[in-house]
Homo-oligomer: A and B are copies of this chain.
Amino acid sequence: MTLDTNFAHDCVEMIHGGGGRAMRRLIDDLFLQAFDNPLLRAGDDQACFQVAPGRMVMTTDSHVISPLFFPGGDIGALAVHGTVNDVCMSGATPLYLSAAFILEEGFPLRDLRRIVLSMAAAAREAGVAIVTGDTKVVERGKGDGVFITTTGVGRLPDQVHCSAARVAAGDKILVNGFLGDHGVAILSQRENLTFEANLRSDSQSLLDLVATMVAVAPDLHCMRDPTRGGLAATLNEISQQANVGMRLHEKAIPVRQEVRAACEFLGLDPLYVANEGKLVAFCPPERADALLQAMRSHPKGRDAAIIGDVIEDERRLVRLRTGFGGERVVDWRSGDPLPRIC
């Protein structure tokens, strides 16, 4: 840190986005120090790296979560986990991230530093480098503290071909653990609810879990992280893309008792609530047991379960067999009950 940027007391000002010396200092004192790596240090407007021949993937997400800090994480870690996971879901290994910040005038530099350090830690843990970035500032009342857009590129192994288009009737549907933790943790923080004080976001990188899964089941058909709109939106989207139906078993879907109780209190359905450290996977039925065992052997898949299977259905419906033996359609709602969840 130089004397020029006072993280304890200063706030983001318009000149921090002005392209001049103040912006340069903020970049040098904060972003370069936190994300330090050779590609970033080169200091050009673009990062340059060597690639081997083969397939790469690219994915992007803007993060606008409110509040910025929540039990189990913050917007910084989330911005890394979200994009790392989107790269992973293809079966690829994430290599490099970019990070673009839209800051609101008046946002405390102390909070910005906390967020950036959290991003740096999350990136280190996932083994990805943040190699290029951008900083913009908007006037007070034209933003909301900080928005972070991360873009990731990754390397896809030759033998992996994950895509919604490959999901087929007969496939088993697996999840790696309890659903709804993220959304309920955010909502309880936002609404200042204390009744589930021990609920935390599941925000985490799924990179290592996916590596374990792909090693056991390189013929996995599809993986996707059920973020906005929860499991319900993700399954409906895939059923549309793959032109199939799905049948779920309510009893098999892992939901914590506290999340279930909170959802009942709030009038939410846990199947529609966002996750940030969960994945849903589709695999051929003969591979399902081995995949489940591999997932359960990993700390991030300890509570994994087979929750249903893919069926032929021209109407492409997702149905749920309820605990009481009935059946209902898990519809694709018009919107998430929880805005700005990621």
A100 and B44 within 8 A (CB)? no
Which A57-95 residues sit within 8 Å CB-CB of chain B? Answer: 57-64, 86-87, 89-90, 92
Which B residues are in CB contact (< 8 Å) with A154? Answer: 46
**Which of A170-178, A244-252, A329-337 lines the interface with chain B?**
A329-337
A151 within 8 A of B: yes
CB distance from A303 to the nearest CB of B (A): 23
Which A1-51 residues sit within 8 Å CB-CB of chain B? Answer: 13-24, 42-51
For the complex, what is the distance from the CA of A162 to the CA of B45, rounded to whole Å? 11
A258 within 8 A of B: no
For the complex, what is the distance from the CA of A62 to the CA of B134, rounded to whole Å? 7
For the complex, what is the distance from the CA of A57 to the CA of B144, rounded to whole Å? 31
- Give the secondary structure class of A's interface: mixed
Residue from B55, B139, B144, B151 within 8 A of A151 (CB atoms): B151
CB distance from A188 to the nearest CB of B (A): 19
A197 within 8 A of B: no
A310 within 8 A of B: no
Considering the complex, give the chain B residue whose CB is closest to the CB of A135. Answer: B62
* Copies of chain A in the complex: 2
Residue from B15, B149, B333 within 8 A of A62 (CB atoms): B149
Which B residues are in CB contact (< 8 Å) with A270? Answer: none
A204 within 8 A of B: no
- Known A-B contacts A89-B45, A339-B137; A22 and B334 likewise in contact (beta carbons under 8 Å): yes
For the complex, what is the distance from the CA of A55 to the CA of B44, rounded to whole Å? 15
Residue from B18, B19, B98, B233 within 8 A of A20 (CB atoms): B233
Considering the complex, give the chain B residue whose CB is closest to the CB of A89. Answer: B45
Closest 8 CB pairs of A and B: A19-B228, A15-B335, A19-B229, A18-B336, A18-B335, A151-B151, A46-B59, A60-B98
Q: Can you list 10 residue pairs at the A/B interface with Cβ under 8 Å?
A: A19-B335, A20-B334, A43-B241, A44-B164, A47-B57, A48-B55, A49-B55, A59-B98, A102-B149, A147-B147
